[in-house]
Structure 1
Amino acid sequence: MNATDRTPADLLRSALAADPARPLVTFYDDATGERVELSVATFANWVAKTANLLQDELSVEPGDRVALLLPAHWQTAVWLLACSSVGVVADVAGSPAVADVVVSGPDTLDAARACSGERVALALRPLGGRFPQPPEGFVDYAVEVPSQGDRFVPYAPVDPEEPALIVAGREFSGAEVVERARAEAPALGLTGPGSRLLSGLPYVTWEGLGAGLYAPLATGGSVVLCRHLDRVGEEIVAERVESERVTVTAR
């Protein structure tokens, strides 16, 4: 990664320039058996499409707040980087009532209705599938995102010193996210390119976000993100560590 990277979106652009084909996010859902692997290029494409959806279809502007009512999931990681790309504040598990936009999984739709702005629903089905019946009052992400552009250019430059992330009640600028991810990477066992971290931590704390996305991205590593990891035994976890060539775990 480049020393000049100041936002999470900068980190992704550097990763794309360095090695677009390498894996970045591998996702397991141990409740459904789903496994998805996204290369840097594929992940960046989803981020660009989602950022275009935010900027052009949902009309968000830098400084707006996007409440993310989503679990630790590859699509949540996409939304976090899309928010960074546009310059809006990703408020993880934040209050929909004070958000300009809410992005909800299928289990939090009732709570998300408190948002008076745009509402986006994610089915979180395998392969990014859509809802069988779109939730009333919501845009179905899986329906809207495929038609968005594959390249993203923000209308206004993103200021790395402006608020970018709120998690567990704490606010971080884009620069602070990058700095903290870099600083904490060695303690997580991330030593640089080739490091591969398996995380079973939720995304509702900084620790979960750092291990499950930002620190691997900041060090040229990759993450094996596991949802519902508590539903499988240690033998399965050990087999996954071996098959995925994991170098360090955070659980």
Structure 2
Amino acid sequence: MAKKTATTAAAQPSRRERRELRQEAAVSSAFLLAEREGMAGLSMRRLGQELDVDVTALYRLFRDKDELLLAVAERTIRMILDEIGEGPEGESWQDALRRIAEGTWLIQTRYPAITALTFARTTGGPAEQKMVELILSAFARSGLPAALAVLHYRTYVDTTLGLCAHSAALGSLDPEVREKDETTWTRVYARLPEAAHPVTRTYIDELSSVTPKAIYDNAVEAVLAAVERAAASQDG
């Protein structure tokens, strides 16, 4: 009997584990709520309603809404890490950064409301710590001295997340407003007087066809090219 009791007790999750499970459930519901109702929909009160619990129960899991948002941001980074996986053996630092950028775009644009809420935050959590080490390791292999490696690291991170947030903000607009913005090139710029705006009129097809992803990829390549130039100047 004593052995059975001990086994049963060992199978029960600890108080800390139960708290972590409840936090994970709350974060999962926060994702669903934000994506369904937009940035304004994610409040502690609405999340309590979503989980069918009193809001005071949430404040026992998270000190405030900001702590909840940081937990949501951590979940997003974990998703990116899962998306990119392990790089192939012998992968160049450039391809490592391209792979990370691609995974970042896929996840961040999949959850636009979450991205708009959290893209500028620094969580300090284990997922972010792993991501920082991963990206910094790539820049360290470029041959740049520490100060330049960190500067380009920050440029890379802020550029990728900023462009993801820009796409997320556009995606959060009402469909009518988004369509109005997207057709401005053909509604307004394509009809400008050619005598006054000759270059704009010449490039109008290209202006109206460029995509957010193309801009994103171009920006990533621009950062990588800047790193290569800076590393080459160090060798010289």
What's the TM-score once normalised by structure 2's chain length? Answer: 0.25
* Bigger strand share: 1
| Higher percent of residues as helix | 2
The structure with higher relative contact order (CA 8 Å, sep 6+) is 1
